[in-house]
């Protein structure tokens, strides 16, 4: 058996410049694409992926799955021809701080090969015992996929999902095998005419001699280092005080993006933004996360975890990590705000925090009434 192991350890997500077909787009997006080709082609995926405030893995999947997986390179070994293995991306996954990070994921890939059956061998040089003919035909062939982690086989197909609790090494490997049956025939000289007990003429037959099985094997593999994802602690918002028609609450820290909705008002805080880049020499795209510290609000005052609003009904907290989105109702344990707390807030800030809060609420109430009246008149 001829065995060749080709370990194709590759850096999975290294951007590589190549010509993206801007005909994928139309109108102004096509013009933007052509412009980016001359400036920085790696930015083109952000014309495909526009959800910078949330990780839309389904959008990444839908775009990538519409692309046929074709081989970048093929390999031959004996009678195995044009063998290939491609695993262009992992779904869902995020590249965070240089690490390919996943929670529950699957490998998206494909493989294929062909085989060669030699033509029948003929030899007309007649010598006793010499090979006169070899017939070749396919006896068996196989291609077996294996997905391994830390040298342990976990699955034999691309439809499987995997989850990890610690950083892990994965290998996707395909073992190809082709066996050709070879039936050998040899020249056999025999006496075909005798005279007076002696052979006066010899003839030749091409007779079956033996059968041989020739097996070729080839293994192709790709290696991946995948970092496990630590889900951040769940955030919470709780009303704690009521004071002069306004409601005070505490919003906990959260290492992700969140939005507090109270009626028509909101407070938004993003710890990450998201963008896409091409994967290696493919047209496939990979989702990236980058740290961010963006806040915005409407009708809600925020300072160091303290939120103040003039509404308390219809309150919900929406938040998301790299892979999941959540929603929960706000908690409430409302009490009149103690006078000593007001004094403490006044004493803790040279800017007189309480005064700023009251002025802020007053101005927002006036603006709200003016805007509502204005829109009703349109």
Cross-strand bridge partners of residue 111: 85
Query: In the numeric block, which tokens belong to residue 335?
Result: 């009490």
Diameter of the chain measured on Cα atoms: 140
Nearest to 102 by CA among 229, 13, 12: 229
- Rounded Cα–Cα distance for residues 141 and 213 (Å): 12
**Helices and strands in the chain: count of H runs, count of E runs:** 5, 22
- The pLDDT of 202-206, averaged and rounded, is 94
Query: In the numeric block, which tokens belong to residue 148?
Result: 């391994």
Q: What is the pTM of this model?
A: 0.76
What is the per-residue pLDDT for 338?
57
What torsion do the CA atoms of 296, 301, 304, 307 make, to the nearest 10 degrees?
A: -110
What is the per-residue pLDDT for 224?
96
- Cα 333–338–343 angle (5° rounding)? 135
- The pLDDT of 15-42, averaged and rounded, is 83
Query: In the numeric block, which tokens belong to residue 207?
Result: 């007779």
Q: What is the pLDDT of residues 225-262, one digit of tens each?
A: 999 999 999 999 888 888 778 888 899 999 999 999 99
For 177, 248, 278, 323, the CA distances from 227, given in Å and listed in that order, are 33, 40, 20, 14
What is the per-residue pLDDT for 366?
59
Boundaries of every domain in the chain: 2-111+138-177+217-227, 237-377
- Rounded Cα–Cα distance for residues 20 and 29 (Å): 13
- The pLDDT of 32-39, averaged and rounded, is 90
- Are residues 161 and 115 in contact, defined by beta-carbon separation less than 8 angstroms? no
- DSSP-derived letter for residue 249 is E
Q: What is the pLDDT of residues 255-272, one digit of tens each?
A: 999 999 998 999 999 999
For 51, 241, 275, 357, the CA distances from 30, given in Å and listed in that order, are 19, 54, 19, 49
- Rounded Cα–Cα distance for residues 329 and 236 (Å): 9
| Residue 33 reports pLDDT greater than 60 | yes
For 163, 239, 339, 353, 357, the CA distances from 346, given in Å and listed in that order, are 51, 20, 11, 6, 11
Q: What is the pLDDT of residues 134-147, one digit of tens each?
A: 999 999 999 999 99
């Amino acid at each position: 058996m001829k065995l060749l192991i080709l370990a194709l350890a590759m850096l999975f997500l290294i951007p590589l410049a190549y010509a993206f077909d801007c005909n994928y787009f139309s109108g102004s997006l096509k013009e933007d694409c052509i412009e980016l080709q001359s400036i920085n082609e790696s930015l083109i995926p952000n014309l495909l992926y526009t959800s910078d405030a949330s990780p839309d893995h389904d959008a990444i999947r839908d775009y990538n799955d519409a692309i046929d997986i074709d081989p970048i390179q093929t390999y031959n070994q004996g009678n195995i021809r044009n063998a290939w293995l491609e695993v262009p991306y992992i779904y869902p996954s995020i590249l965070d701080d240089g690490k390919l990070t996943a929670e529950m994921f699957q490998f998206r890939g494909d493989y294929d090969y062909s085989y060669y059956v030699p033509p029948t061998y003929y030899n007309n040089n007649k010598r006793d015992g010499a090979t006169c003919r070899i017939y070749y035909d396919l006896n068996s062939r196989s291609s077996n996929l294996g997905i391994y982690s830390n040298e342990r086989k976990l699955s034999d197909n691309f439809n499987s999902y995997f989850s990890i609790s610690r950083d892990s090494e994965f290998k996707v490997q395909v073992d190809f095998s082709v066996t050709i049956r070879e039936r050998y025939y040899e020249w056999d000289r025999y006496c075909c005419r005798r005279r007076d007990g002696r052979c006066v003429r010899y003839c030749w037959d091409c007779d079956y001699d033996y059968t041989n099985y020739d097996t070729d094997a080839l293994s192709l593999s790709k290696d991946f280092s995948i970092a496990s994802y630590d889900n951040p602690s769940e955030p919470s918002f709780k009303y704690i005080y009521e004071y002069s028609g306004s409601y005070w609450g505490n919003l906990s820290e959260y290492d992700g993006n969140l939005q507090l909705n109270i009626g028509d008002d909101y407070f938004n805080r993003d710890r990450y933004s998201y963008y896409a880049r091409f994967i290696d020499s493919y047209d496939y795209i990979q989702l990236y996360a980058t740290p961010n510290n963006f806040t915005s609000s409407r009708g809600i005052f925020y300072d160091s975890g303290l939120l103040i609003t003039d509404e308390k009904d219809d309150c919900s907290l929406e938040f998301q990590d790299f892979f999941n989105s959540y929603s929960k109702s706000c908690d409430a344990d409302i009490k009149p705000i103690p006078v000593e707390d007001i004094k403490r807030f006044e004493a803790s800030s040279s800017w007189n925090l309480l005064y700023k809060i009251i002025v802020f609420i007053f101005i927002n109430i006036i603006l709200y009434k003016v805007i509502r009246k204005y829109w009703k008149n349109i």
